[in-house]
Structure 1
Amino acid sequence: MKRLLFTFSFVFLASYGMAQETLSLGQCLKMGIERNLNLKTYEGNVLKGKHNISENRSRLLPQINIGAALNDNFDPPVSVTDGSAYGKPYNVTNTLQYNASASVQLQMPLYSQTARTALNIAKTLDVLNTLSYAKAKEDLIVQISKMYYLAQNTEEQIGIIKDNIKRLEELRDITQAFHDNDMALSVDVKRVNVNLENLSVQYDNAKAMLTQQYNMLKYVIDYPADKAIAVEKANIQQIDMAALTGLDENLSELQLLRTQQTLAEQQKKLAKDGYLPTVAISGNWTYTAFTDKFKNWFHSGESNHWYRSDGIGLSVRVPVFDGFEKRSKIRKAQVDIDNAKLAYENTMKGMQTQYANAVNDLANNQRNFSKQRDNYLLAEDVYKVTSDRYREGIASMTEVLQDEMSMSDAQNNYLTAHYNYQVSNLTLLKLTGQLDKLLKP
């Protein structure tokens, strides 16, 4: 029975381990781009913009309508005309009770500058939707990358804590042996146990934090919540640095602002186009029939004879005065143009400042990373020497624990410096338009 339970537990744990999928940063980014629910909203807006263009284009195309009508004038109207030709003052004509009609009508604008400008505005809005999607995609790449780097950092932290726990457990066993042989005080054993307990708490906190980070990462990339994932082990010794090519002026954010300025200019032109005349052509092909009794529709004769009426027309509309409505629209549009120019200039200067600061941060974080790595390696060597001396009975427990604490601080500082280095490099990748590098496997 015990063997059966052991076999079942082994198979369960093995299947759980196999179910966990290790994802690279490139895989997470591709999943996020394909599945992220918020990004899909932007995709829907892009598709909506395409339909909006078709809707505005239809206003420049012919409009054809077919109509039919049947009227029962149960109290028929009369027509009164001059009857002097008949020796009467008035000539009264009674209309028939029933009439029917069938028609085909055609309408088509020959010249409408407002409709053409509206179509151009729809195309500009489509460009805005596309750029908004591109910017949302860039922001998503940065968000996922930061989450991925943070999970890697936490994984490394957990690994270091486990190593420290292992070292302290060995130190505790040695100290306990010294105490059993009256070579160490009981307080020394307690000191080691206190440090072990602190490390155990750090380990539990780091594991809980890592679980939350993975849950958030799964949410952003729309990964099944009931499946386990893991990130690749971080290569702490190497970071692919961004090429310092200067601020990319074709970033989606800057293109968005330039396109918004174009849109404001088109809105102003649309208001001005309201002063221009519009020309349209219309035509109709109609058949009409009249009768005094409904049953006559089903018999041949004059009472249900269909009379054809065809025609074509040309209409011109010239706006003269609208109470200064168009003038107000033009002035409002000019304010939007000025604001769009200011927004672009302000954002451009802000991003240039961000780039300069990002370059400075990268250099500073690179120096800090290098120094913290050297400090970490030095702290490890110091702890190793002190630990060996303690085993030989030369160093005290206080010295060992102090060096162990210094080494732990150096380890945390090293990991923090590495994460800051990654984030500053990520910022430069975005500002220089090199985020696509992260998508490569």
Structure 2
Amino acid sequence: MNNTLRVLLLAAGPGLLLAPAGPALAQTSAPRPELATQTTGTMPLTLQQAIDYAVKNKSSLLATRLGEQTAAARVGEIRSAGLPQVNVAANVADNFKLQQSLVSFPVQQTVLTSADVAAASAGEKVLETRRLDVPPQPFAFGLQYAANTSASVSQLLFDGSYLIGLKAAKVYTELSRKQTQQAEIEVVEQVSKAYYSTLVARSRLGLLARNVQRLDTVLYQTNETYKAGFVEKLDVDRLRVQRNNLVVEQQKAQRLTELSVALLKFQMGLPQSQAVQLTDSLGAAIIDAGTLRQRLGVGSATTGGGADGLGAVPTAPAPAGSTPDQSRQDQQAALSGARTGQLAAAFNYNNRIEFSALETQQALAGLDLASRRSGAYPRLLATAAYGFSGSANTFGDLVAFRGPDSRAANGFANQNWFGFGNIGLSLQIPVFDGFRRKYQVQQGRIQQQTLERGFETLRQSIDLQDAQSRATLVNALDVLDNQKANLDLAADVARVSRIKFQEGVGSNLEVVSAETELRSAQTNYYGAIYDVLVAKVDRDKATGELYNQAKK
């Protein structure tokens, strides 16, 4: 029982509707319709549907759930030790050479002399008995053919390790479930990032297509102006070079979008041959950055300053009992990207599945230690057995199965099968095991101490991940604010440059330069959007909210 329990215990720009300055990721709250395993046509796919499909069909998760089923089977194995154990046995033997045993017994002999005979003839009683020394003689017991059959039942009445094993069964099942949940969180993270990557790539591809159309219009107008003799051929050639570069960039973006879709299918566990259509828009995944900054307790890059450097930081109202100095410290910590005192107090390590799983492992270690100590307790079983045995000189006579009422031709009993049965109690008391249990208990205590040290390491790791994800998200929001401002400026400069060129007061070189700067600003803006989306997913994972949001 101890070995079984031990195995159990030891056993993841222009033409585009832009969001307000400083957008951030938000989980979509769209309905969650059931998603078929595979369709013959194009599969419509929201983010939530992609997550649901991956949680149900990702091969790595299916393997993890098989491990969960294995854990459930091991728990059943532990519980089965407390149920009645029934065994049926039968055997037949041909004793072609019977084993003999030496038997020693006394032999007495009567000796009469001639005088004794004469005395006896006269009517006198004469008898003299002498003991003879006879060596042990060999005898064979049994017949050539023998057989027996029996059924035995045993029921465990008391075993300390079994009682502890029953408690460990529930804890072990819980640990297996948490390990599966941890794997699901990894899948949710991977699918979310792949889905957002595809959204960004698809939106940028659409913007490039509109840029090509707009540039074609400018190129056509410039070419017509050249034919009229108002511009040089060099101006037309510059625009053609710019258009060729833009078309190449569009082709690269198309391949990148296809690669993003392929990555999304892989993270979902979806066959690559299945066509998909992402139904969520990039705008549906965006919320106002001010709300997110308020939740983070930080100010923006443009409004977080002031006369004292803290003028416009969007912080929550100070709780009753807090001092102005504490509020100022929290604001300064927020601007530096650190966790404020209020947020640190509200942070719950149990929101992280890793911490919860480690607590479950600690509980298992405690039960393992108790199980090792229980090896000193006695073990009590109730036993019962009943069966039949028979023997005969020939096999045919053996299988005749003659009972107690059977008689031979001469009237003598010739029974060849006899029944037997017993009931009893079996008490096993460990007395001395060579200090084996002592060293097992020492190992269990060391394991507990190791897990206790692991808690502190895990807390520090979670604190670091929380600080890193928070700082990364704040930095990504600041970069996005800046890139949005740059995009607005670049779009306005390109618009004015085109107007000046069309009115004849600007140069073609100015238009080309402005369009180049606009495309660079667009690329940087979409890159910043993706960074914010990824940073928000990492932040939700660090705070333990990613899994709960995916389950909504």
* TM-score band w.r.t. shorter chain: 0.7 to 0.9
The answer to whether structure 1 residue 164 and structure 2 residue 231 are counterparts is no
Q: How does 1:156-195 map to 2 (within 5 A)?
A: 156-195=203-242
* 1:117 counterpart residue number: 164
* 2:27 counterpart residue number: none
Stretch deviating more after TM superposition (137-146 or 117-126) = 117-126
Q: How does 1:355-434 map to 2 (within 5 A)?
A: 355-434=466-545
* 1:32 counterpart residue number: 54
Stretch deviating more after TM superposition (277-286 or 236-245) = 236-245
Contact (CA 8 Å) 2:155, 2:383: kept in 1 or not?
yes
1:97 CA drift (Å): 1.4
Bigger-Rg structure (1/2): 2
Stretch deviating more after TM superposition (174-183 or 256-265) = 174-183
Question: What is the aligned counterpart of 1:349 among 460, 463, 472?
Answer: 460
Equivalent position SS for 2:347: coil
Q: How does 1:19-58 map to 2 (within 5 A)?
A: 19-58=41-80
TM-score (norm 2): 0.71
Stretch deviating more after TM superposition (117-126 or 307-316) = 117-126
The answer to whether structure 1 residue 67 and structure 2 residue 89 are counterparts is yes
Whole-angstrom CA distance in 2 between matches of 1:355 and 1:147: 22
* 1:333 counterpart residue number: 444
* 2:378 counterpart residue number: 277
Whole-angstrom CA distance in 1 between matches of 2:388 and 2:43: 74
Whole-angstrom CA distance in 2 between matches of 1:343 and 1:131: 17
* 2:105 counterpart residue number: 83
1:91 CA drift (Å): 6.4
Q: How many residues align?
A: 423
Whole-angstrom CA distance in 1 between matches of 2:532 and 2:263: 22
1:182 CA drift (Å): 3.1
The aligned amino acid for 2:95 is N
Whole-angstrom CA distance in 1 between matches of 2:99 and 2:551: 78
Query: Over residues 258-316 of structure 1, what are the superposed CA-to-partner deviations in whole Å (9 max), with x where a residue is unaligned?
Result: 11222222332332223333222322112112222333233644444322221123333
Whole-angstrom CA distance in 2 between matches of 1:305 and 1:55: 42
* 1:234 counterpart residue number: 282
**Shift in CA distance, 74/304, structure 1 to aligned 2, threshold 3 Å:** farther
Equivalent position SS for 1:183: coil
RMSD: 2.5
Stretch deviating more after TM superposition (369-378 or 293-302) = 293-302
Contact (CA 8 Å) 1:32, 1:140: kept in 2 or not?
yes
Whole-angstrom CA distance in 1 between matches of 2:391 and 2:545: 76
Select the structure that is richer in helix.
1
Q: How does 1:89-238 map to 2 (within 5 A)?
A: 90=136, 92-94=138-140, 95-231=142-278, 232-235=280-283, 238=286
1:217 CA drift (Å): 1.3
Contact (CA 8 Å) 1:102, 1:286: kept in 2 or not?
yes
Contact (CA 8 Å) 1:283, 1:313: kept in 2 or not?
yes
Question: What is the aligned counterpart of 2:354 among 246, 249, 253?
Answer: 253
Whole-angstrom CA distance in 2 between matches of 1:46 and 1:264: 19
The aligned amino acid for 2:78 is N
Whole-angstrom CA distance in 2 between matches of 1:439 and 1:118: 33
Identity percentage over the alignment? 25
Contact (CA 8 Å) 2:353, 2:544: kept in 1 or not?
no
Stretch deviating more after TM superposition (303-312 or 165-174) = 303-312
Contact (CA 8 Å) 2:82, 2:155: kept in 1 or not?
yes
The aligned amino acid for 2:51 is L
Stretch deviating more after TM superposition (186-195 or 397-406) = 186-195
Equivalent position SS for 2:187: helix
Contact (CA 8 Å) 1:358, 1:428: kept in 2 or not?
yes
TM-score (norm 1): 0.88
Whole-angstrom CA distance in 2 between matches of 1:131 and 1:145: 21
Where do 5+ consecutive residues of structure 2 fail to align? Answer: 1-39, 109-130, 297-345, 408-412
Equivalent position SS for 1:60: coil
